[in-house]
Chains A and B, each alone.
Chain A
Amino acid sequence: MNAASWGWLVLLFPLFGSLLIGSTYRVLPARTAGLVGIGAIAAAFFCGVAALISLQGEPAESRHVADSLWQYASVGGFEIDLGIYVDPLSVFMVLVVTGVSTMIHVYSYSYMKSDEGYHRFFSYLNFFVFSMLLLVLAGNYVLLIVGWAFVGFASYALISFWYRRETATKAGMKAFVINVVGDIGLVLAAILIFRELGVVDYEAVFEKAPEVFTTTNEWTAVAICLLLLVGAFAKSAQMPFHTWLADAMEGPTPVSALIHAATMVTAGVYLIGRSYPLFELAPAASDVAAIGGLVTLLVAGTIAIAVTDLKRIIAYSTMSQIGYMFVGVGIGAYSAGFFHLMTHAFFKALLFMAAGSVIAAMANMQNTDRMKGFYKAMPFTAAMLIIGALALSAFPFTSGWFSKDEILDFAAFRGGWYEVFVIGGYIGAFMTAIYSFRIIFRILPGPPCEEAQHLIDTGHVVHGEPVNPHTGEHEDTEVGYPGSEHHIAEQARGMKIGMSVLGFLALFGGLVQVPGVTEVITHFLEPTFEDSPLAAMHPSTSEAWKGLAKGGIISVAGIAFTWLLYIRRPDLPGMFRRRFKPVYTLCVNLWYGDQVIDFLIVRPFKALGRFADRAVEPFVVGGLTNGTIAVVRSAGDAVRDMQTGMLRGYAVLMLSGIVGIALYFLIRSI
């Protein structure tokens, strides 16, 4: 079997799992459904590995296979195949997505145990993974859009999973709407690509693009790339499309881990990486991507330092890290960007899982203000949380250290105004260390809080009343709400397995790409980016290690600073809050992102709607309708008199008609 066949199998398993669980939920026992879900994703992972082996068996220049099942549409020269494209980049994404998703499925198997919607959850989860795999394996822009839209829908379904919780359904809608804005950008980009190049297949597009987008036509390429970026920014929650991500934390915690750490939000990075030949023809658009990433990583960092909701802190850190990836692929550090994507998937999924365990122990409370002393109550979760935070804050020799600093090294290597990214990146890194260890120092040490104490004393998780953590509204545990029981990693094997594997990867996953020693990712992705002049450039090994040293120092300094703030001088954070009240207010209100969108888009459109209702509707729409009625009615009046009801009259008319026609033909024939 060649790589393409394995690629099809990668797609088949999750789709099949989703359909099977979704259609047999009445008869399938709950645990079996969970196992089917896990099995489907694990099978996809192994097929991905097989595809990898099959690809590596080829010589480097032919490590890409395009394969098509059938022609999807063929209209006037517009030909779309239902085709996939398997090359190192898509295989890399497949492995990251399925690998991390398998662990998340294993975790969910235990975490969702008492939830009424167990089947539904696994069906959605499998569908989500299928959509993401379709997105990364698609062989042309049209199928990419299909996968892209499926991911949008799947995220909507999963965020609104507890559908009787109003805040959750609203968050789902918000995510969906913002994603659709991105979809529109992507569709327009595809249309423009087709108009300019006449093809939509990746290979054909990238082959033709350099000929068509010469210097005279450069701005079309820029326009295409900017439209692609609209899609990428919306899916990856970059400024100004970032507001949905934090609200998406309404979904169950494994969903946060899956969507907002490992898969969905990385789609934008993949899109830029996949379309790199276009972006290199439009350097202006690449710069926009990188600057957008930089702004997002700084803004999200400040928000993450200010908010207190555990999952939201992690959500904003996701935004911030995705910002690094955008900087990476924007400045041409492709392999570094994707390397960071991989390590980020490991440690962010781990952090979400550990957070889920803590939240379960708190009986669904998410506010870090009340969490204390979990170090004693849940040592395993605490250890995993620390590992995740270390990797996130790029502590030396953890995975995040290698990947994040590789991006910044490349920016420094390109020099010139790219130094901005280095400075911004290091400021962001300092903030990363602060917010990740802010979680640790606030919830792990100290005297245990009520819930933690209960866990230590009785060995059981607190049975809190089921309430919506945001509104305090009371909820029942029937269909559509979180289960009646909570599960923590210490007591649930599935959660423990998932977290251990990811914890290991978060610690040691970076060792695959050590400058000068092992450069697995760079070499592996080389065939994909072989045409790029940027990918061939590398900072020297000594430069890279210098960068790593700088990054390590900043990370340790950040952690030490946080220690000073929260352990040594616990009075300082409050003082800072008071002294820099405007800044704090700005951050804690998420830089007023929602309000800005409300002011700039929602309100003008509402006003436009009201105006149209008053001025356009009665006159234009009403006028058209009533006018049509009037025309028909007067025409009817005009011909009504002919209908006398006189049978003999009709006969006369008929005869004269026939005679008239007969005469006409007679005269013509003469």
Chain B
Amino acid sequence: MAIEWYLVLSALLFSVGFTGVLIRRNPVVVLLCLELMLSAGALALISFSRLHGDGDGQVFVLMVLVVAACEVVVGLGLVVAMFRRRIALDVDEMKELRG
């Protein structure tokens, strides 16, 4: 089976995720889209791993999953903290780092 289809699928997933990050303002959805992007990357890695016939790519994917899990924990923690403080769940409202 040709690898191109997998890569195309991965690229599509990535684009969908990134578009979501760009256009959505709800932090939960932004986090979801980030996960989508990470999964796209993981898919590409697995495809290449298959292509080369060794396990390196799969090892990377496992690490990516771990990092993604951690990132979700932190991100969702932030969302919960915002919710508790009754801050509007809108990423555009949070621009205190403005120069």
Question: For A204, what are the chain B residues with a Cβ–Cβ distance below 8 Å?
Answer: none
Q: Judging by beta carbons under 8 Å apart, are A648 and B97 in contact?
A: no
Question: For A647, what are the chain B residues with a Cβ–Cβ distance below 8 Å?
Answer: 30, 91-92, 94-95
Q: Judging by beta carbons under 8 Å apart, are B96 and A645 in contact?
A: yes
Interface residues on chain A, number (Cβ under 8 Å): 13
Q: Judging by beta carbons under 8 Å apart, are B92 and A646 in contact?
A: yes
Q: Judging by beta carbons under 8 Å apart, are A640 and B99 in contact?
A: yes
Give CA–CA (A648, B95) in the complex, Å: 11
B18 CB–A CB distance under 8 Å:
yes
Residue of A nearest to B21 (CB): A651
Q: Judging by beta carbons under 8 Å apart, are B99 and A646 in contact?
A: no
B22 CB–A CB distance under 8 Å:
yes
**A136 CB to nearest chain B CB (Å):** 68
B86 CB–A CB distance under 8 Å:
no
Residue of A nearest to B23 (CB): A648
Q: Judging by beta carbons under 8 Å apart, are A648 and B99 in contact?
A: no
B98 CB–A CB distance under 8 Å:
yes
A655 CB–B CB distance under 8 Å:
yes
**A595 CB to nearest chain B CB (Å):** 64
Contact with B along A284-303 (1 / 0, CB 8 A): 00000000000000000000
The A-B contact count (CB < 8 A) is: 34
Question: For A646, what are the chain B residues with a Cβ–Cβ distance below 8 Å?
Answer: 92, 95
Question: For B21, what are the chain A residues with a Cβ–Cβ distance below 8 Å?
Answer: 648, 651
Q: Judging by beta carbons under 8 Å apart, are B95 and A645 in contact?
A: yes
Question: For A641, what are the chain B residues with a Cβ–Cβ distance below 8 Å?
Answer: 99
Q: Judging by beta carbons under 8 Å apart, are B94 and A643 in contact?
A: no
A642 CB–B CB distance under 8 Å:
yes
Q: Judging by beta carbons under 8 Å apart, are A652 and B95 in contact?
A: no
Cβ contact of B91, chosen from A639, A644, A648, A652, cutoff 8 A:
A648
Question: For B92, what are the chain A residues with a Cβ–Cβ distance below 8 Å?
Answer: 646-648
Give CA–CA (A655, B14) in the complex, Å: 12
Q: Judging by beta carbons under 8 Å apart, are B97 and A645 in contact?
A: yes
Give CA–CA (A643, B99) in the complex, Å: 5
Question: For A648, what are the chain B residues with a Cβ–Cβ distance below 8 Å?
Answer: 21-23, 25, 91-92
Contact with B along A647-670 (1 / 0, CB 8 A): 110011001000000000000000
**B99 CB to nearest chain A CB (Å):** 3
Give CA–CA (A645, B92) in the complex, Å: 8
Give CA–CA (A643, B98) in the complex, Å: 5
Give CA–CA (A644, B95) in the complex, Å: 7
Question: For B91, what are the chain A residues with a Cβ–Cβ distance below 8 Å?
Answer: 647-648
Give CA–CA (A643, B95) in the complex, Å: 9
Residue of A nearest to B34 (CB): A651
Give CA–CA (A642, B99) in the complex, Å: 8
Contact with A along B77-99 (1 / 0, CB 8 A): 00000000000000110111111
Q: Judging by beta carbons under 8 Å apart, are A644 and B18 in contact?
A: no
Give CA–CA (A246, B25) in the complex, Å: 87
Q: Judging by beta carbons under 8 Å apart, are A643 and B97 in contact?
A: yes
**A666 CB to nearest chain B CB (Å):** 14
- Chain B residues in the interface with A (C-beta under 8 A): 18, 21-23, 25, 30, 91-92, 94-99
Sample (18) of A-B pairs whose CB atoms are under 8 Å apart: A639-B99, A642-B99, A644-B95, A644-B98, A645-B95, A645-B96, A646-B92, A646-B95, A647-B30, A647-B91, A647-B92, A647-B94, A648-B21, A648-B22, A648-B25, A648-B91, A652-B22, A655-B18
Instruction: List 11 additional A-B contacts (Cβ < 8 Å) besides A643-B98, A643-B99, A648-B92.
Output: A639-B99, A640-B99, A641-B99, A644-B98, A645-B98, A645-B99, A646-B92, A647-B94, A648-B22, A648-B25, A651-B18
9 A-B pairs closest in CB distance: A645-B95, A643-B99, A645-B98, A640-B99, A645-B97, A647-B91, A651-B21, A648-B22, A646-B95
